Amino acid sequence: MERNQMRRQLALMRQSFFDQGFLDEQFIQLEELQDDANPNFVEEVVTLYYRDSSRLILNIDQALERNPLDFNKLDNYMHQFKGSSTSIGAKKVKAECTQFREYCKAGNSEGCMRTFQQLKKEYAILKRKLEAYFQQARQAGPLETACRSRN
C-alpha cells in the first residue's frame, strides 16, 4: 500500500480513538513528549503500561476470589491501575476504575466483580487497537515531522 495512503489511514485510526472515547488528551501529552531523543516514547510507555497492568489484573482477579473481599486491598490495587491508566489517557479504562472504586467504598462485592469484568474488556479492546496502531505506524515508516523546538 502506498505510504501516503498508509499514513492517512493511520491518522484516521488515531482520530477514531479520540472520537470513540478510547483515548483522551493525556495521550496527546505522551505524543508531545516524543522527539528525536525519545523517538519511541509513546509505544514504550504503552508497552510498559500493559506489562505492569497485567500483573495488577492478576492480583485483582485473585483478590476478587477471596471471601469476604478485602476492599481496602482492592482499593489500593485500583489506585495504581487508575493512576497508570489515567497517565496514558486510557479514557474508558479509567472510567471503569473510578466505578470500581465507588463499589469498593460502598462494600459492594457484586458491583466490584461486574465492573472488573467490564474493565478487563475495555482494557483488552484498547490493547488490540493500540497494538494494531503501532504496528501500522512502523509499516508506514517515520514521517518528517516538525519536531517541537527546544530552547
Binding site for another protein (CB under 8 A): 7, 10-11, 14-15, 18, 25-26, 28-34, 38, 41-42, 44-45, 48-49, 52, 76, 79-84, 86-88, 97-98, 101, 137, 140, 143-151
User: Minimum Å distance from CB 89 to another protein?
Assistant: 8
DSSP letter for each residue of 94-132: HHHHHHHHHHHHTT-HHHHHHHHHHHHHHHHHHHHHHHH
Query: Taking Cα atoms as reference points, which of 116, 127, 128, 109 lies closest to residue 81?
Result: 116
State the nearest-atom distance from the C-beta of 14 to another protein, in Å: 6
Q: What angle do CA 83, 85, 90 make, to 5 degrees?
A: 145
Minimum distance of another protein from residue 4's CB (angstroms): 11
Nearer to another protein, 67 or 151 (CB): 151
